[in-house]
Chain A
Amino acid sequence: MRAVTYLRLQALIGWGLLTVAVSVAMAFWTGLPGAFRWGLPLILSAITIGTALVEPPIRYRLFWYAISPAEVDLRNGWLILRRTVVPMNRVQHLTVSQGPLAVRFKLAKISIHTAAGEITLEPLDHAEAEELRIRIAALAGLSDDV
Chain B
Amino acid sequence: MTSEESTTDTVAAINGKRLHPAYLIIGAGRTLRAMIPLILLSIVQFPPWLLIPLGALVVVGAVLSWWRTKYSIHDGVLRVSSGILSRKVRTVHARRITAVETERGIVQRIFGVWGLKIQTPGDGDSAAVSLPCLSAAEAETVRNTLRSNTPAHTSTADLNPELAAAKSQPATEPLAALGTKELLITAVTGTSVPLIVAGLFTVWNRSRELLPGNWQDYLEHELFGRGRGTVIILVVIVLLSAAVGVLLTALRIANFTLQREEGRLRISRGLVSQRTGSIAVDRVQAVRLVDGFARRMIGYTSIEVEVAGLTGKDENQRTLFPLVKQSLAADLINRAIPELEWQPQPLLPIPRRAKRRYLTVPTLLGLSISLLLLWASITWWGFGWSLPGWLLTLDLLPIALPAAVGWARARDAGWALDEHTLVVRSRNILSRYTLVARRNRVQITTMSTNPFQRRADLASLKFDLSSGRSAELRHIEDDDAGRLLRLVGRRHPDVPAEHPGRVGAQCSAQVGAQCSAHPGAQGPAHGGAQCPAHGGAQ
Encoded as 1 (CB less than 8 Å from any B CB) or 0, chain A from 51 to 74 comes to 000000000110111111111010
Contact B445 A132 (CB under 8 A): no
**Given known A67-B533, A83-B446, A125-B528, contact A75–B466 (CB-CB < 8 A):** no
Contact B526 A65 (CB under 8 A): yes
**Given known A70-B490, A77-B448, A90-B444, contact A83–B519 (CB-CB < 8 A):** yes
- Chain B 428-462 residues near chain A, CB threshold 8 A: 440, 443-451, 454
Contact A116 B489 (CB under 8 A): no
Contact B444 A3 (CB under 8 A): no
Q: Say if the beta carbon of A89 comes within 8 Å of chain B.
A: yes
Give the distance in Å from the alpha carbon of A67 to the alpha carbon of B535 in the complex: 10
* Complex interface: stretch among B205-213, B291-299, B508-516: B508-516
24 inter-chain pairs at a CB distance below 8 angstroms, sorted by A residue, are A3-B526, A3-B527, A63-B526, A64-B524, A65-B524, A65-B530, A66-B515, A66-B531, A67-B533, A68-B513, A68-B533, A79-B450, A80-B450, A82-B447, A82-B448, A84-B445, A84-B447, A85-B486, A116-B443, A116-B465, A116-B466, A117-B468, A121-B526, A128-B527
Contacts of A3 in B (CB 8 A): 526-527
Contacts of A85 in B (CB 8 A): 444-446, 485-486, 489
Contact A69 B534 (CB under 8 A): yes
Give the distance in Å from the alpha carbon of A83 to the alpha carbon of B528 in the complex: 21
Contact A128 B444 (CB under 8 A): no
Contact A80 B449 (CB under 8 A): yes
Contacts of B446 in A (CB 8 A): 82-85
Main secondary structure of the interface of A (DSSP, over half): strand
Give the distance in Å from the alpha carbon of A51 to the alpha carbon of B61 in the complex: 58
What is the distance, in angstroms, from B300's C-beta to the closest C-beta of chain A?
30
Measuring CB to CB, which residues of chain A are less than 8 angstroms from any residue of chain B? 2-3, 60-61, 63-71, 73, 75, 77, 79-87, 89-90, 114-117, 119, 121, 123-125, 128, 132, 135, 139
> Beyond the given A63-B526, A69-B534, A83-B446, could you list 10 further A-B residue pairs with CB under 8 A, ordered by the A residue number?
A3-B526, A60-B526, A69-B513, A79-B450, A80-B450, A84-B447, A85-B446, A85-B485, A87-B443, A125-B528
**Given known A83-B519, A85-B489, contact A132–B530 (CB-CB < 8 A):** yes
Give the distance in Å from the alpha carbon of A50 to the alpha carbon of B247 in the complex: 56
Contact B515 A117 (CB under 8 A): no
**Given known A85-B489, A115-B466, contact A69–B121 (CB-CB < 8 A):** no
What is the distance, in angstroms, from B118's C-beta to the closest C-beta of chain A?
18
Contacts of B352 in A (CB 8 A): none
Contact A64 B526 (CB under 8 A): yes
Contact A83 B513 (CB under 8 A): no
What is the distance, in angstroms, from A2's C-beta to the closest C-beta of chain B?
8
Q: Which residue of A lies closest to B463 (CB)?
A: A116
Contact A66 B524 (CB under 8 A): yes
Contact B523 A64 (CB under 8 A): yes
Measuring CB to CB, which residues of chain B are less than 8 angstroms from any residue of chain A? 121, 308, 440, 443-451, 454, 464-468, 470, 485-486, 489-491, 513-517, 519, 522-528, 530-531, 533-534
Contacts of A124 in B (CB 8 A): 526-527
Query: 3 closest Cβ contacts across the A-B interface?
Result: A64-B523, A115-B466, A116-B443
Give the distance in Å from the alpha carbon of A71 to the alpha carbon of B239 in the complex: 56
Contact A114 B443 (CB under 8 A): yes
Q: Which residue of A lies closest to B494 (CB)?
A: A70
Contact B527 A115 (CB under 8 A): no
B448 interface neighbour in A65, A80, A116, A135, Cβ under 8 Å:
A80
Contacts of A121 in B (CB 8 A): 526
What is the distance, in angstroms, from A139's C-beta to the closest C-beta of chain B?
7
Give the distance in Å from the alpha carbon of A21 to the alpha carbon of B389 in the complex: 44
Contacts of B467 in A (CB 8 A): 116
Contacts of B519 in A (CB 8 A): 75, 83
Contact A81 B454 (CB under 8 A): yes
Contacts of B485 in A (CB 8 A): 83, 85
Among B454, B467, B533, the most chain A Cβ lie within 10 Å of the Cβ of B533
What is the distance, in angstroms, from B93's C-beta to the closest C-beta of chain A?
15
Q: Which residue of A lies closest to B441 (CB)?
A: A90
Contact A117 B464 (CB under 8 A): yes
**Given known A79-B450, A87-B490, A115-B121, contact A73–B525 (CB-CB < 8 A):** no
What is the distance, in angstroms, from A110's C-beta to the closest C-beta of chain B?
11
What is the distance, in angstroms, from B360's C-beta to the closest C-beta of chain A?
15
What is the distance, in angstroms, from A107's C-beta to the closest C-beta of chain B?
9
Q: Which residue of B lies closest to A139 (CB)?
A: B533
**Given known A64-B526, A115-B308, contact A69–B533 (CB-CB < 8 A):** yes
Contacts of A75 in B (CB 8 A): 519, 523
Contact B444 A117 (CB under 8 A): yes
What is the distance, in angstroms, from B10's C-beta to the closest C-beta of chain A?
29
Contact A81 B443 (CB under 8 A): no
Contact A64 B515 (CB under 8 A): no
What is the distance, in angstroms, from B227's C-beta to the closest C-beta of chain A?
43
Contact A86 B527 (CB under 8 A): no
Contacts of B517 in A (CB 8 A): 66, 73
Give the distance in Å from the alpha carbon of A60 to the alpha carbon of B440 in the complex: 32
Contacts of B121 in A (CB 8 A): 115
Q: Which residue of B lies closest to A138 (CB)?
A: B533
Contact A70 B524 (CB under 8 A): no
Give the distance in Å from the alpha carbon of A87 to the alpha carbon of B316 in the complex: 31
What is the distance, in angstroms, from B146's C-beta to the closest C-beta of chain A?
21
